[in-house]
């Protein structure tokens, strides 16, 4: 295994509020890596730093040896990091299929002339995109909804669509921000199966934020624990489960 | 009627015949003035289609769009009138005007497109006013635009020796200047519609729609926000510039007054009223908003016929009724008369 | 004698009127997220109403301050009612409609108001009856007229009152809460509709006063005056950071000063290439430049989108 994403001494402050302090860890290629911590621990902030939504205050993030600071989100995506959002951000007025096709943007090329002239190359690319999008929708299990507007999809399927859209960019690292939020236990189980399947199928590296500790324990190979913007520990689920500070701080009577 | 291929063919043919016959029907039925109104409506359709790319597709609120129209018009006017004694060929001047407008679109867009929605609106509005004020005042120290008097005696649009402004009734009864312009403008409008539709259903169109719906998610999907916004801006400006050139040739006269803020606002109204994002809705909006105030002019004549005198002067009430119609139509159909499927939920959840 | 001080005074006076009108834009925007395009026309109606009453009463036995006050109060009452009416008819039904829909109704309303004013008061300029004091004070060689002084004092007072109203009273707190999140404010027992109505009343009253002051300053009113005034005031609100009340005040003053100094200096600075007819260009250039440097306006918070 090689090191894919490296977070090195990363800090972030909003005005005077320190959201993250000197966080360091790295994610190996091919692993399912979890990020857990109580509300306000800085998980989503870290996500936003990695994906270029927010600028880093101090420290370095490298992906595949390539520094990510100051790169805009679309360039980071091109390097191979795709993400989903905590509070689902689909293009609600577009169909599921179109959402996925937008996700394919970085892997397609047709420009303005191609759009107007619709030459053979553009048509081929369009057909290919459509087929690929269908394939991805089938993979996440919502192909029957391909022509439904994203806004009209049931909640769980919206989460799945967001995953399909992220996959469309053929990422090496897929970052999922609370993918199981608001799901019932059986939906969570099938989501976890899906994530395992994707991990297998694409040889993906997964970075997952989730509140549900049980869910994460079963899913992840390793996990990092954040609390008040600081890294508590990085370890396997079993070790994390028995880490004194984890138990004391917020696992409480959960285990 | 079912949508068999035969029926579709039939209805297309009917539409084509209607469009071809329309100017003659108007000319002989309602009078020559109406053909000119339809010509103007087609010019506005082009403008509305262009602005629709910016506002309807990419979701960028541009309140200074008329500036690009003005640019196209003045490029045509300056290079095709006694002002400088230049008479360049139309096929050079029209694309040149469009290109100038497009270039200015990029120049304006480059620094401003990272502004949030309503800030962009005021900046574009300011730009529109700046252009108008320059046109108004660039008659000294060197006389370029001839100031508020504007430029007159502009050459009509002509191909070889065929001038669109000259009547050719010897060829066909009723083939007057406005009728000829009608066919030219109709062809160009249809061409722009076709381009707009192709853009909409393409990778570029999807990128615009994504930006409009959720910038952050669009960026996270790999779309270079600034480039695509600039592209929309430039495309819209180019169409505006083209329409401006046509306007100058058609009208034979341009002055800064034709390019005030109210015109930008009017084009925006056409889009929103017709149905933002939908090419057909936008054209419908342009036709209605051009024809409606003109139709209201007719009320005076109607009163004269009915009561023998003008009870209420329609010129005073025309814009009042127009304002009321805008309000009422928006209240009844907030998404426009012919909304695009994508826009039903537009912005609805924005301020969550 | 340098024109600087004189232009500064003129700019401050003009700017304080812009600020009063800008407050209406910014307050409505803060709460509804809506550009109240008709606000400029409300200002115009205010000026027209005040002038109508004042002209009517001129020559009566009433003392001059009473006549002026009667005009002003009529304008305030009329504009408040108008603001409420517009909110009720043109904006409230569209609160959950696509964002541009209320902008179009606002445009429709301003066309209606403009043409209504033209029908009632005609196309000609209406002059302010000669009731105002004509004196002036010498300020280091520059001239500050009585009317200018009145405008400065009135608008400064109004802005102070508004600022403390918004910052210190329960009503102000409710307004700020509604601006933050209408839904949450509703859960806290704040009647959003009432707050919105109050906002429109305050904004329209300030517009009425602004309109009155402008017509007193120039000695004129016209059915078309609302357009440019509204445009300038809206620019001022954006300049300061739209939605921000102190920003609108700052933006108004700045825009007035920039415009006035621009008009005074643009000729000499460009060696006569551009005359004072470019003063609006100057104002817009500065506006655009400031927005490019500070995209959220001078006092606006950059609302970084949190995922």
Class of residue C88 by CB neighbours under 10 A (exposed 0-12, middle 13-18, buried 19+): middle
**Residue A253 Cα, gap to closest chain C Cα (Å):** 31
Tens-digit pLDDT profile for residues C67-92:
999 999 999 999 999 999 999 999 99
Q: Chains contacting B with at least 3 CB pairs below 8 Å?
A: A, C
- To test the contact with chain C by mutation, choose from A39, A43, A54, A88 the residue with the greatest count of C C-beta atoms within 10 A, namely A54
Q: Measured between alpha carbons, how far is B272 from B119 in angstroms, rounded to an integer?
A: 19
Q: What is the DSSP letter of B2?
A: -
By C-alpha distance, which of A98, A68, A50, A24 is closest to A207? A50
Tens-digit pLDDT profile for residues B306-322:
777 766 666 667 788 88
Look at residue A28 in the predicted model and tell me its pLDDT: 94
Q: How confident is the model at residue C138 (pLDDT cuts 50, 70, 90)?
A: confident
Which chain B residues contact residue A82 at CB under 8 A?
220
Does C288 have pLDDT greater than 70? yes
> What residue of C is the nearest CA neighbor of B111?
C292
> What residue of B is the nearest CA neighbor of C122?
B316
Which chain A residues contact residue C304 at CB under 8 A?
54
- The pair of structure tokens assigned to A61 is 């993030």
Which chain C residues contact residue B118 at CB under 8 A?
29, 35, 238, 242
Judged by DSSP in three states, B119 sits in: helix
Cross-chain residue pair B221–A110, CB shorter than 8 Å:
no
Q: What is the DSSP letter of B312?
A: S
Which chain B residues contact residue C295 at CB under 8 A?
114-116, 119
- Is residue C305 less than 8 Å (CB to CB) from chain A? yes
Query: Could you state, in order of their start, the residue ranges of all structural domains in chain A?
Result: 1-80+171-255, 93-170
Which chain A residues contact residue C98 at CB under 8 A?
none
Q: Which of residues 136-155 of A touch C (CB under 8 A)?
A: none
Q: Measured between alpha carbons, how far is A106 from B228 in angstroms, rounded to an integer?
A: 13
- Is residue B318 less than 8 Å (CB to CB) from chain A? no
Q: Measured between alpha carbons, how far is A163 from A169 in angstroms, rounded to an integer?
A: 11
**Residue B7 Cα, gap to closest chain C Cα (Å):** 36
For range C258-277, the mean pLDDT: 77
Q: Measured between alpha carbons, how far is B328 from B317 in angstroms, rounded to an integer?
A: 16
Q: How confident is the model at residue A165 (pLDDT cuts 50, 70, 90)?
A: very high
For range B146-165, the mean pLDDT: 88
Q: Measured between alpha carbons, how far is A45 from A23 in angstroms, rounded to an integer?
A: 12
CA dihedral B329, B331, B337, B340 (to 10 degrees): 150
Does B293 have pLDDT greater than 50? yes
Cross-chain residue pair B327–C100, CB shorter than 8 Å:
no
- Is residue A177 less than 8 Å (CB to CB) from chain C? yes
Cross-chain residue pair A114–B202, CB shorter than 8 Å:
yes
Q: Which of residues 79-98 of B touch A (CB under 8 A)?
A: none
By C-alpha distance, which of A158, A175, A192 is closest to A88? A158
Look at residue B336 in the predicted model and tell me its pLDDT: 83
Summary mean pLDDT of chain C:
88
C242, C39 contact by CB (below 8 A): no
Look at residue A1 in the predicted model and tell me its pLDDT: 63
Sign, CA dihedral B290-B293-B295-B301, equals negative
Look at residue C179 in the predicted model and tell me its pLDDT: 86
Q: What is the DSSP string of B144-179?
A: SS-GGG-B-SPPPPEETTEETTS--TTTSTT--HHH
Which chain B residues contact residue C235 at CB under 8 A?
122, 126
Look at residue B5 in the predicted model and tell me its pLDDT: 78
Q: Count of A–C CB contacts within 8 Å? A: 13
For range B323-340, the mean pLDDT: 85
Q: Chains contacting A with at least 3 CB pairs below 8 Å?
A: B, C
Q: Which residue has the higher pLDDT, B139 or C26?
A: C26
ipTM: 0.91
Which of C23-32, C39-48, C169-178, C293-302 is predicted most confidently? Answer: C39-48
By C-alpha distance, which of A79, A232, A106, A215 is closest to A165? A106
- The pair of structure tokens assigned to A14 is 């909003």
Q: How confident is the model at residue A252 (pLDDT cuts 50, 70, 90)?
A: low
Q: Count of A–B CB contacts within 8 Å? A: 112
Tens-digit pLDDT profile for residues B4-42:
778 888 888 999 998 988 888 888 887 778 899 999 999
Residues 6+ apart with CB under 8 A from C206: C20, C21, C23, C24, C158, C162
Class of residue B141 by CB neighbours under 10 A (exposed 0-12, middle 13-18, buried 19+): exposed
Q: How confident is the model at residue B165 (pLDDT cuts 50, 70, 90)?
A: confident
pTM: 0.88
At the top level of CATH, the class of A1-80+171-255 is alpha beta
For range C32-53, the mean pLDDT: 93
């Amino acid at each position: 295994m090689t090191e894919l994403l490296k977070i090195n001494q990363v800090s972030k402050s909003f005005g005077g509020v320190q959201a993250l302090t000197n966080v360091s860890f790295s994610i190996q290629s091919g692993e399912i890596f979890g990020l857990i911590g109580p509300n306000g621990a800085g998980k989503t902030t870290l996500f936003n730093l990695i994906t270029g939504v927010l600028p880093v205050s101090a420290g370095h993030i490298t992906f595949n040896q390539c520094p990510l600071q100051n790169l805009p989100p679309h360039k980071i995506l091109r390097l191979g990091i795709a993400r989903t959002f905590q509070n689902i951000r689909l293009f609600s007025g577009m169909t599921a299929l179109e959402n996925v096709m937008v996700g394919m943007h970085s892997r397609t090329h047709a420009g303005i002339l191609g759009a107007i002239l619709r030459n053979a190359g553009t048509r081929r690319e369009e057909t290919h995109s459509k087929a690929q999008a269908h394939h991805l929708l089938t993979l996440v299990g919502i192909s029957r909804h391909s022509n439904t507007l994203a806004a009209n999809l049931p909640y769980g399927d919206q989460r799945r669509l967001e995953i399909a859209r992220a996959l469309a960019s053929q990422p090496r690292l897929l970052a999922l921000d609370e993918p199981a939020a608001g799901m019932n236990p059986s939906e969570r189980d099938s989501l976890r199966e899906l994530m395992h399947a994707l991990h297998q199928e694409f040889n993906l590296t997964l970075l997952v934020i989730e509140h549900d500790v049980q869910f994460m324990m079963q899913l992840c190979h390793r996990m990092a624990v954040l609390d008040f913007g600081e890294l508590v520990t990085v370890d396997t689920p079993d070790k994390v489960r028995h880490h004194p500070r984890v138990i004391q701080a917020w696992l409480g009577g959960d285990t | 009627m079912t949508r068999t291929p035969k029926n579709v063919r039939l209805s297309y043919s009917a539409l084509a015949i209607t469009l071809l016959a329309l100017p003659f029907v108007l000319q002989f039925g309602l009078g020559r003035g109406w053909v000119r109104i339809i010509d103007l409506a087609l010019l506005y359709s082009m403008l509305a289609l262009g602005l629709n790319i910016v506002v309807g597709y990419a979701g960028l609120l541009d309140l200074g769009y008329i500036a690009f129209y003005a640019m196209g018009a003045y490029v045509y006017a300056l290079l095709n009138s006694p002002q400088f004694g230049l008479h360049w060929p139309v096929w050079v001047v029209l694309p040149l005007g469009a290109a100038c407008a497009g270039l200015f679109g990029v120049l304006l867009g480059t620094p401003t497109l990272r502004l949030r929605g309503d800030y962009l609106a005021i900046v574009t509005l300011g730009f529109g006013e700046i252009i108008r004020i320059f046109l108004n005042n660039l008659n000294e120290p060197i006389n370029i635009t001839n100031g508020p008097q504007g430029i007159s005696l502009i050459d009509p649009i002509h191909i070889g020796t065929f001038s669109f402004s000259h009547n050719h009734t010897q060829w066909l009864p009723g083939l007057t200047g406005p009728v000829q312009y009608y066919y030219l403008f109709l062809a160009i409008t249809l061409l722009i519609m076709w381009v707009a539709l192709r853009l909409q259903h393409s990778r570029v169109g999807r990128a615009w729609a994504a930006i409009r719906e959720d910038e952050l998610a669009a960026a996270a999907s790999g779309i270079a926000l600034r480039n695509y916004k600039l592209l929309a801006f430039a495309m819209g400006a180019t169409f505006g510039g083209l329409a401006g050139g046509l306007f100058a040739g058609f009208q034979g006269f341009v002055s800064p007054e034709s390019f005030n803020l109210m015109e930008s606002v009017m084009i925006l109204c056409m889009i929103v009223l017709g149905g933002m994002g939908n090419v057909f809705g936008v054209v419908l909006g342009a036709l209605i908003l051009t024809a409606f105030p003109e139709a209201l002019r007719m009320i005076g004549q109607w009163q004269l016929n009915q009561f023998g005198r003008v009870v209420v002067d329609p010129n005073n009430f025309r814009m009042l009724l127009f304002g009321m119609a805008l309000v009422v139509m928006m209240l009844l159909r907030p998404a426009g008369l012919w909304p695009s499927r994508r826009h039903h939920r537009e912005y609805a959840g924005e301020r969550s | 004698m340098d024109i600087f001080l004189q232009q500064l005074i003129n700019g401050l006076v003009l700017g304080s009127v812009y600020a009063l009108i800008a407050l209406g834009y910014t307050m409505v925007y803060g709460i509804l997220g809506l550009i109240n395009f008709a606000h400029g026309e409300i200002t115009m109606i205010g000026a027209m109403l005040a002038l109508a009453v004042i002209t009517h009463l001129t020559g009566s036995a009433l003392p001059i301050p009473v006549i002026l006050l009667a005009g002003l109060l009529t304008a305030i009452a009329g504009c408040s009612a108008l603001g409420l009416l517009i909110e009720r008819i043109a904006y409230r039904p569209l609160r959950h409609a696509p964002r541009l829909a209320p902008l179009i109704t606002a445009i429709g309303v301003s066309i209606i108001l403009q043409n209504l004013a033209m029908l009632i008061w005609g196309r000609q300029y209406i002059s302010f009856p000669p009731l105002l004091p004509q004196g002036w004070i010498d300020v280091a060689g520059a001239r500050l007229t009585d009317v200018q002084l009145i405008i400065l004092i009135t608008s400064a007072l109004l802005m102070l009152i508004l600022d403390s109203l918004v910052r210190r009273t329960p009503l102000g707190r409710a307004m700020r809460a509604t601006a933050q999140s209408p839904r949450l404010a509703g859960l806290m027992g704040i009647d959003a509709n009432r707050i919105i109505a109050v906002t429109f009343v305050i904004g329209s009253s300030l517009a009425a006063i602004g309109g009155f002051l402008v017509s007193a300053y120039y000695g004129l009113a016209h059915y078309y005056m609302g357009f440019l005034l509204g445009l300038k005031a809206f620019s001022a609100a954006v300049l300061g950071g739209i939605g921000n009340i102190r920003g609108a005040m700052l933006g108004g003053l700045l825009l007035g000063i920039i415009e006035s100094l621009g008009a005074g200096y643009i000729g000499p600075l460009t060696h006569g290439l551009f005359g004072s007819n470019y003063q609006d260009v100057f104002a817009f250039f500065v506006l655009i430049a400031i927005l490019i440097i500070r995209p959220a306006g001078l006092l606006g918070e950059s609302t970084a989108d949190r995922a």
